[in-house]
Amino acid sequence: MERIILTGDRPTGKLHLGHYVGSLQNRLKLQEEDNTKVFVMIADQQALTDNADNPEKVQQSLIEVALDYLAVGLDPKKTTIFIQSQIPQLPELTLYYLNLVTVARLQRNPTVKSEIQEKGFNESIPAGFFMYPVSQAADITAFKATHVPVGEDQKPMVEQTREVARDFNRTYKQDVLVEPDIILPPQGQGRLVGIDGKGKMSKSLNNGIYLSDSAEVIQKKVMSMYTDPNHIRVEDPGQVEGNVVFTYLDVFDDDKEKVQELKDQYRAGGLGDVKIKRYLNDVLQAKLQPIRERREAFAEDKDAVMEILREGSQKAEAVAAQTLDEVKDAMGINYFK
């Protein structure tokens, strides 16, 4: 059976290593697989649900995210990259789905709940923000996605999408919409810790290494990384667990034997933080340099990047239009057909 993949990101900044291990790597793999269509959406409308007063940020981030996609190797010949706001069928589907979802159900969505807390909306939650899970259900079902590769935090969105699809099909007595399955990142790679060791790498915590960071910035960030606070002198035994340098070596260094050797040495004592940081820096620089160079090359021709997004959006719109037509047929509102 053919698999249809739909996923995306809100453009609210550049992408970092957490995105790379948590979702970009997954997409790169999927775009090479047989019988698999991949759609990657830049969710600018969703970004606007809590940035209504700052469209410039969304607009600027959109091109940065597109550059990050192309830099890591998403290939427009294999993956349809498109912009959410350019597909008018998505908000139309959203409007019909909203009638199948209760306010109470939205209030229970755990991701929306914690975002409302984080963003400090209190009693002034923008209605568009509040209902974005339904818009996300439209994003996914418009493409009849069978699989949605996302992080753990998006589980409630996929669950709610399944409910919408099921309710729609039951209500209108036709199997129009597809209930998608979630694809989670490989074990242990869903939540890359930030360089401060305090929490998940994220823009708001300012603890990220970005795909677009210069070699100097990467080095600076690596040298400031959280290690083992009790490892004071080189000869002291050090702790590897919770030590960000080793966490990153586990994720990014393909030479697992070498990593094991370094861990043994660090635990025994006699291996300094500066040394392991320099080693990690080499590993990260080797990984990020080609990505950064491709990024710079694409950035020189932003018109060409926008053209890729335009073509992708055109392709995506054709698919969404077909689904919307079926949806309206099922609802009996295709009056002039």
Give the whole-angstrom CA distance, residue 79 versus residue 335.
35
Contact stretch for ligand TRP (CB under 6 A) within 71-79, 102-110, 134-142, 251-259? 134-142
Q: Which of residues 9-48 bind ligand TRP (CB under 6 A)?
A: 9-10, 43, 46
CB of 92 to ligand TRP, least distance (A): 16
Q: Report how many residues bind ligand TRP under the rule CB under 6 A.
A: 13
Q: Is 150 an interacting residue with respect to ligand TRP (CB under 6 A)? A: yes
> Which residue number places its CB atom closest to ligand TRP?
43
Q: Which is nearer to ligand TRP, 158 or 249 (CB)?
A: 158
Contact stretch for ligand TRP (CB under 6 A) within 4-12, 190-198, 205-213, 267-275? 4-12
CB of 111 to ligand TRP, least distance (A): 8
Q: Which is nearer to ligand TRP, 154 or 243 (CB)?
A: 154
Q: Is 6 an interacting residue with respect to ligand TRP (CB under 6 A)? A: yes
**Cβ atoms of 225 and 245 closer than 8 Å:** yes
Give the whole-angstrom CA distance, residue 316 versus residue 322.
10
Q: Give the residue, chosen from 38, 42, 48, 140, that forms a contact with ligand TRP under the rule CB under 6 A.
A: 140
Q: Give the residue, chosen from 50, 139, 273, 317, that forms a contact with ligand TRP under the rule CB under 6 A.
A: 139
Q: Phi, psi at residue 204, to the nearest 5°?
A: -65, -30
Q: Phi, psi at residue 239, to the nearest 5°?
A: -100, 135
Burial status of residue 180 (CB atoms within 10 A of its CB: 0-12, 13-18, 19 or more)? buried
Contact stretch for ligand TRP (CB under 6 A) within 147-155, 194-202, 236-244, 254-262? 147-155
CB of 328 to ligand TRP, least distance (A): 22
Q: Is 136 an interacting residue with respect to ligand TRP (CB under 6 A)? A: yes
Q: Is 8 an interacting residue with respect to ligand TRP (CB under 6 A)? A: yes
Contact stretch for ligand TRP (CB under 6 A) within 5-13, 65-73, 163-171, 277-285? 5-13
CB of 333 to ligand TRP, least distance (A): 25
Q: Is 64 an interacting residue with respect to ligand TRP (CB under 6 A)? A: no
CB of 191 to ligand TRP, least distance (A): 14
CB of 96 to ligand TRP, least distance (A): 17
Contact stretch for ligand TRP (CB under 6 A) within 133-141, 220-228, 241-249, 314-322? 133-141
Pull the structure tokens for residue 191: 């939540």
Pull the structure tokens for residue 277: 């940081």
CB of 161 to ligand TRP, least distance (A): 8
Q: Is 7 an interacting residue with respect to ligand TRP (CB under 6 A)? A: yes
Give the whole-angstrom CA distance, residue 265 versus residue 217.
28
CB of 93 to ligand TRP, least distance (A): 12
Separation of CA 130 from chain center: 20
CB of 159 to ligand TRP, least distance (A): 13
- Per CB under 6 A, residues contacting ligand TRP are 6-10, 43, 46, 136, 139-140, 148, 150, 154
